[in-house]
């Protein structure tokens, strides 16, 4: 979809549909909505008087222009109470608007920027958002909301696509900042949709080798360095935890390494690690059959890390980033890892395998150690790691576990700014007792109690003194409901948070 900005009169936009808005409690619309209302002969005010348009959050009212405007329809979006309006709501209302208009066959859509300008603060006592912030959120919401994964299915709405979204602004002085906001919004939204594509792919298509190929292709397009390491290199490196998990599959594992050198010497070096289990059956400790098909998405952490690194490169942020993805399948076979086996990780630590379905932490152990060897200054891993985190936090928040409070605060703030909710979890030293092994230095599960925490404590053994945050996205990597800019399937969660984190680290 083409997104462009024009300076002009919103009532003169020519296209199929126009999006305007209304806050709850407003009786006489002003600004751009007021200009459209005047052109419609006061139609919006009449609908307000009879109670058909209230401005309540989530309300959508389609008004036919009947030749009074050079568009066929006007969509009035309710913004709710002004004091409740946020940039996240800009994303949501933008997504809902374009999805509604796509359903009715609109191809050329015009829109005003929702919630932008100091007038919002003047009327309500709130600070409002500037035009650039609202424009970026609008673009993100529209592009994320229109996403569909249809590679393997003929879609009944294949012919219905919005071809152009035009943002109409009156103030020419805001144009440059808004154009940059469109560029940024497009880059982060497209990266999120790349991650969604990867998560939605079936395991027979997205093998570890194929994930490596797609990472390499993305690297070529965005100017990243890419290395793909297979079993011979992994054996030489001593990556026996990753190789141990891979033993049960006929698909060879990969260690995918992406590097972006945009920063100055001595500046921040961000390490990103993503769990890349392209299908997880649980191995010998096999999972129940019900809902096992969702385990094609057990590489959502890898997808987020790969896509975020590509976005950072496209944005040309002045930061050094190293991304590491351990990719393999976890399957049962005659050669598969068994409960009771002992592995020696790349760091030299020995691990007793209690449950082969706790494989994510095994592959991450080698990847985290490798990232630390690259002298990263900050380290974040993203993983669909534990069902225990879903039990604790549900599907609304991702769990955060950290060795460094300052970095944790930055990660949580980066998520909040993008609408991706992150909840900090405890990391008390007493939890270490639960993963002590009688026959090795550590065991790969501490039992049911505090399962998400003991998984994080396991990972902490492989990061040394490097400031580190672990993000457990087991509950947030996919959704079975369509709401706002989220569509069924992979969410692409943490792509935008990681990009935002890279921006925040530059201010240190």
Burial (CB count within 10 angstroms: exposed 0-12, middle 13-18, buried 19+), residue 213 = middle
Q: How close are the terminal C-alpha atoms of the chain, in Å?
A: 36
Three-state SS string over 308-351 comes to: HHHHHHHHCCCCEEEEEEEEEEECCCCCCCCCCCEEECCCCCEE
Helix axes 405-418, 495-505, angle to 10 degrees: 120
DSSP letter for 442, please.
E
Among residues 108, 196, 275, 361, which one is catalytic? 361
Residues forming beta bridges with residue 224, ordered by sequence position: none
Break the chain down into helix, strand, coil percent, rounded to 5.
40, 20, 40
Return the bridge partners of 166, or none: 4, 110
Q: Is 361 a catalytic residue?
A: yes
Q: Which helix (H) or strand (E) holds 14?
A: none
The backbone torsions φ and ψ at residue 215, rounded to the nearest 5 degrees and listed phi first, read -65, -40
Q: Is 154 in the active site?
A: no
Centre a 10 Å sphere on the Cβ of residue 449 and count the other Cβ atoms it contains: 10
Please choose, from the candidates 202, 326, 327, 312, the residue with its C-alpha nearest in 3D space to the C-alpha of residue 263. Answer: 312
> Which of 194, 202, 501 has its CA nearest to residue 378?
501
Structure tokens of 203? 């395991």
Edge-to-edge strands of the sheet including 442-443?
342-344, 350-352, 442-443
Structure tokens at 157: 């709405």
Which residue in the block uniquely carries the two structure tokens 């972006």?
260
Q: Which of 45, 183, 287, 344 is catalytic?
A: 287
Measured distance CA(65)–CA(405) in Å, rounded: 55
Contact between residue 423 and residue 398 where contact means Cβ atoms under 8 Å apart = yes
- In this structure, the strands spanning 398-402 and 468-472 are antiparallel
What does R_g of the chain's alpha carbons equal in angstroms? 25
Residue 329 CA to residue 360 CA, distance in Å, equals 10
> Could you give the CA distance from residue 137 to residue 417 in angstroms, rounded to a whole number?
10
Beta 17-22 vs 2-7: how paired, if at all? unpaired
- List of E strands, 464-507: 468-472, 478-479, 489-490
* Catalytic annotation, residues: 287, 361
């Amino acid at each position: 979809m083409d997104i462009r900005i024009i300076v002009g009169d919103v009532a003169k936009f020519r296209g199929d549909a126009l999006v305007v808005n209304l806050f709850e409690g407003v009786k006489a619309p002003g600004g751009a909505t007021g200009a459209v209302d005047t052109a419609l002969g006061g139609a919006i005010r009449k609908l307000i008087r009879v109670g058909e348009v209230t401005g309540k959050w989530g309300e959508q009212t389609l008004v036919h222009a009947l030749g009074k405007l050079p568009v066929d329809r006007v969509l009035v979006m309710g913004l709710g109470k002004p004091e409740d309006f946020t940039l996240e709501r800009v994303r949501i209302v933008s997504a809902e608007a374009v999805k509604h208009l796509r359903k009715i066959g609109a191809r050329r859509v015009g829109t005003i920027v929702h919630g932008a300008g100091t007038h919002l603060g003047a009327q309500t006592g709130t600070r409002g958002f500037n035009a650039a912030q609202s424009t970026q959120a609008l673009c993100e919401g529209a592009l994320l909301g229109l996403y569909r994964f249809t590679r393997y299915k003929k879609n009944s709405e294949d012919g219905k696509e919005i071809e152009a979204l035009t943002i109409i602004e009156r103030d020419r002085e805001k144009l440059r900042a808004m154009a940059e906001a469109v560029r940024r919004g497009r880059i982060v939204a497209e990266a999120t949709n790349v991650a969604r594509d990867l998560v939605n792919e079936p395991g027979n298509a997205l093998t570890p080798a194929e994930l490596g190929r797609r990472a390499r292709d993305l690297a070529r397009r965005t100017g990243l360095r890419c290395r793909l390491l297979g079993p011979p290199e992994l054996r030489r490196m001593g990556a026996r935890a990753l190789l141990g998990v891979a033993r049960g599959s006929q698909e060879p594992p990969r260690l995918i390494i992406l590097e972006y050198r945009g920063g100055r010497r001595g500046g921040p070096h961000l390490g990103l690690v993503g769990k890349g289990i392209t299908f997880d059956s649980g191995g010998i400790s096999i999972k129940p059959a019900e809902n096992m098909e969702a385990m094609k998405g057990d590489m959502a952490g890898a997808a987020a890390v790969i896509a975020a690194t590509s976005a950072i490169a496209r944005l040309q942020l002045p930061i050094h980033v190293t991304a590491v993805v351990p990719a393999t399948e976890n399957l049962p076979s005659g050669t598969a890892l068994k409960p009771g086996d002992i592995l020696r990780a790349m760091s030299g630590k020995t691990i007793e395998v209690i449950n082969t379905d706790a494989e994510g932490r095994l592959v991450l152990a080698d990847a985290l150690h490798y990232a630390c060897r690259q002298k990263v200054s900050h380290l974040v891993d993203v993983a669909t790691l534990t069902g225990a985190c879903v039990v604790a936090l549900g599907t609304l928040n991702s769990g955060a576990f950290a060795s460094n409070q300052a970095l944790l605060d930055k990660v949580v703030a980066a998520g909040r700014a993008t609408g991706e909710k992150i909840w900090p979890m405890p990391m008390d030293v007493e939890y270490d007792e639960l993963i002590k092994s009688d026959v090795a230095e550590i065991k790969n599960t501490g039992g049911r109690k505090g399962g998400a925490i003991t998984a994080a404590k396991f990972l902490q053994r492989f990061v040394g003194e490097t400031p580190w945050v672990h993000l457990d996205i087991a509950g947030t990597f996919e959704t079975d409901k369509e709401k706002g800019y989220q569509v069924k399937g992979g969410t692409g969660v943490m792509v935008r948070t990681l990009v935002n984190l890279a921006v925040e680290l530059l201010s240190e």
